[in-house]
Structure 1
Amino acid sequence: MGLLAAVALVSGGVVYTVEQREQDARERVTATRTATPSPPPPKSTKPSKVAASIAARRVAIDTILLRRAEAVRTGNEAMFLADVDPANAKLRAEQKILFANLVEMGFQELGYSQAEERFNPAVRRAHGSTAYLVRILMRYQIPTVDFTPVTTELGYTFVARGGRWLLTADNELDADLGPGAHREAWDLGRIEIQRGPRVLVVVEKGDTARGRSIVAEATEGIAQVTAYWPLKWTGSVLVIALDETDVRDARFADEDIESAASTGTTFSSLPGEESADGTVAGGYIVINPNERDRVDEILLSHEITHVATADLGGYEPLWLAEGAAEYVSWRGIEAISGSAEVAKWEQEVVDEAVPQLAALPGDAGFYQNSADVYGVSWLAVRQLVRKIGLDQVEELYEDLARNGTDQSARDRILQTRTGLTEATLWTSLTTYEPQR
């Protein structure tokens, strides 16, 4: 379900930033001035034409990026398309759809900035010697959903033509960006948004009935999380339900094909930008397109629990993250269907799932494990709730999420708060007999 999967930014080729080039140019100028101090200054002390053109290019691209953000804020399509290559009809059509989607999102904040230049000989051959391939940081904030502005990546190709810079491609760097980059909901065809008091649902344009249904189910899911998980969470939920198997970092076409939904993290600073792990801001829910007709409050209460805990730090073990989410969703099942349904699953976990494992499910390979690791994780959380109470389990979760950076820290925190380690907690599961 991908909530805590580490996101690695893959740098393709040699990264040599514009800033580094400008610094090199300044150092060369300084060295020349030191060597030839007599007036008038020799010609070699002036900034080179290359450095000047690089600086001019940076200003020109920054201006384009500012103009694109302003166009979205003001709903000005002509301004948004003004810097898109007029010879590229396909790109212009795609950019019209992108513009409409961005306006529909209703961002509270939106901005684009250049990160570093990337070099690709094939791109240079395709577009000519002026081709400029650059990683772009898109920083945005969706009202009520994002507590703080978050960042995603893009890759733009610009060319100089007729004395100006034009955007001529927006996908030629995709393979070298982080997982899910350029796969946000607004990048994937024309969308519409259905809204509730604390819910935004993204569906394909015209899929209105489905969007409204999911809003209702997500509203019920939020109520369940509020009722059954002690953390006081006041946020809103973004649910993406598109006919796409690859959205953000949810890839339902391959390893996650059996998952009904996935909650992927958002970052206020991306991994590798300010820190190796990045800074988690929250999470968005993505529905498996094959499961869109079966979305209910039980499924969504599980995912919303992940969203509500996403910004705590992300270092909690997966058995605790998934066990807590299952705990909330099964409390909802119990409220709807009664305790017999829960008792039946509990017995199945004890009889069938626990014997297949030798320890609590580890983070590595958690989602590929053929055993019912969700059930075992749920049973472990239920054991902790019985031992120390739900409020203390929630506090344990927060402590581990912020400070459980390795197994030693996890065991120390777990033992301090519960008197157990993961090993002794597992032993208690192997000897547990459901009470009837």
Structure 2
Amino acid sequence: MAVALVSGGVAYTVEERERDARDRPVATQTPTQTATPSRTATAVAARRVEVDTILLRRAQAVQTGNEALFLTDVDPANKKLIAAQKVLFANLVEIGFQEIGYSQAEERFNAAVMKAHGRTTYLVRVLMRYQIPQVDVAPVTTELGYTFINRAGRWVLTDDDDLDTDLGPGAHQEAWDLGRIEVLRGPRVLVAVEKGDTKRGRAIVTEATEGLAEVSSYWPRKWRGSVFVIALDESEVRDARFADEDIESAASAGSTFSSLPGADTADGTVAGAYIVINPNERDRVDEILLSHEITHVATADLGGYEPLWLAEGAAEYVSWRGIEAISGPGEVGKWEQEVIDDAMPTLSALPTDAGFYQNSADVYGVSWLAVRYLVQRIGLDHVEELYEDLAMHGTDQASRDRILLSRSGLTEATLWTSLQSYRPQR
């Protein structure tokens, strides 16, 4: 009964609708009216076009070496910014980009910035996409924060650091952002130093060239890339943070991204890495230090999922092969025994990624020992293949153990057990 009533109701409704349609007068068709954009929407669209044009001019100015064009859209009332932009322009030309471009990402709001610059303030995150020839194998991206204001009906850049604290690590801290630089070049080496620090720059080019040769000799991956070494009197460069009194960390290899973290994926897409030297260590840079960092650069584009004990252990393996070539096997054997006697007892497992660089134990030594053990067990070529597999696919502990087990017959736990009873042959 219920089904019949409902069905009948539906039928009745359809019949009523059809009868109403027959009886209804035919309406005269009129053109569809399009909503007129609001005045605000029109102004926003016009602003975006004008700012895009400004960004395009800035890129063209760098590519053509036209300083006047680069400064055309800088707020003429901001003399400090004009001076800083002249330095920036000179640095960008000095680098000699193969490709450079700027694009608007998203608008940002900051009440303090709005108060400082007035009601026309436009604060926007900007993506700088560039490629340094023979260094970047593909274009990479970094972030900037630009503040524009409308002055007499024209948009101008009035600040370039209002967003710095809201951007990702290292944003607006590239070598060219930090004062006047000088660039020195070798066949596969680019070195940035303070303007006038030519002697130091040439010395680092020499050491980096030797470090490159060591990586080519002692690490099997056929990497033919080039190295960008940044040696400035700055404690914060890119994503490297060196406290003024910090002498423990001599250098850092920081990733470059073809796609920034959070854009397409949470981790981003790593394209390579640049080396940053601790300003307190610039006079002690040698091929041993640089061969360690260059190993990181040579493996940077593999994915970055390898455990830190493997990443740092491989870099230490290469640099200590260099030491062995200079000093003989005795020096290496001495440190190996020190790691076994002094460092191993302070740990209960392989060093974990969490807190690796804050660990007071000799995690670098233990990582090196683990790689040396694997080289003896399966051979260097297979260790390199293991590294590539883990770097690309070792996204969690289960994947790491699966890959390690399939390629070496060990898990991280059994590798640690093996290290505890390891007695190297002399």
- Fold in common (TM above 0.5): yes
Residue 78 (structure 2) pairs with residue 83 (structure 1): no
How far apart, in 2, do the equivalents of 1:273 and 1:255 lie? Answer: 36
Match of 2:180 among 167, 190, 197: 190
Distance 1:398 1:40, change over 3 A: closer
Q: TM-score of the superposition, structure 2-length normalised?
A: 0.92
Corresponding residue for residue 32 of structure 1: none
Residue 374 (structure 2) pairs with residue 421 (structure 1): no
Corresponding residue for residue 161 of structure 1: 151
Matched AA of 1:307: V
Match of 2:299 among 309, 317, 340: 309
How far apart, in 2, do the equivalents of 1:329 and 1:255 lie? Answer: 25
How far apart, in 2, do the equivalents of 1:98 and 1:195 lie? Answer: 20
- Give CA deviations for 1:222-244 in whole Å, capped at 9, x if unaligned: 00000000000000000000000
Corresponding residue for residue 70 of structure 1: 60
Matched AA of 1:134: V
Distance 1:58 1:256, change over 3 A: farther
Corresponding residue for residue 386 of structure 2: 396
1:433 deviation in Å? Answer: 1.8
Which sections of structure 2, spanning at least 5 residues, go unmatched?
A: 1-28
Match of 1:58 among 28, 48, 51: 48
Would you say the 8 A contact 1:139–1:149 is kept in 2?
A: yes
Larger RCO, structure (CA 8 Å, separation 6 or more): 1
Distance 1:358 1:254, change over 3 A: farther
- Give CA deviations for 1:383-432 in whole Å, capped at 9, x if unaligned: 00000000000000000000000000000000000000000000111111
1:435 deviation in Å? Answer: 2.3
Corresponding residue for residue 296 of structure 1: 286
SS in 2 for 1:420: coil
- Give CA deviations for 1:88-109 in whole Å, capped at 9, x if unaligned: 0000000000000000000000
In the alignment of these two chains, the number of paired residues is 398
Q: TM-score of the superposition, structure 1-length normalised?
A: 0.90
How far apart, in 1, do the equivalents of 2:425 and 2:255 lie? Answer: 38
Corresponding residue for residue 380 of structure 1: 370
How far apart, in 1, do the equivalents of 2:117 and 2:357 lie? Answer: 42
Corresponding residue for residue 97 of structure 2: 107
Distance 1:149 1:83, change over 3 A: same
SS in 2 for 1:61: helix
- Give CA deviations for 1:255-312 in whole Å, capped at 9, x if unaligned: 9752000000000000001111100000000000000000000000000000000000
Trace 1:36-435 onto structure 2 (pairs within 5 A).
41=33, 45-253=35-243, 258-435=248-425
Which sections of structure 1, spanning at least 5 residues, go unmatched?
A: 1-36
SS in 2 for 1:195: strand
Corresponding residue for residue 24 of structure 1: none
How far apart, in 1, do the equivalents of 2:115 and 2:296 lie? Answer: 45
How far apart, in 2, do the equivalents of 1:140 and 1:41 lie? Answer: 45
**In percent, how many aligned pairs have the same letter?**
78
Trace 1:22-41 onto structure 2 (pairs within 5 A).
41=33
Corresponding residue for residue 3 of structure 1: none
Would you say the 8 A contact 1:298–1:333 is kept in 2?
A: yes
SS in 2 for 1:266: strand
1:434 deviation in Å? Answer: 3.0
Would you say the 8 A contact 1:251–1:257 is kept in 2?
A: no
1:38 deviation in Å? Answer: 5.6
Distance 1:362 1:152, change over 3 A: same
Q: Which entry has the higher C-alpha Rg, 1 or 2?
A: 2
Would you say the 8 A contact 1:252–1:258 is kept in 2?
A: no
SS in 2 for 1:146: coil
RMSD over aligned Cα atoms? 1.2
Distance 1:217 1:230, change over 3 A: same
1:159 deviation in Å? Answer: 0.1
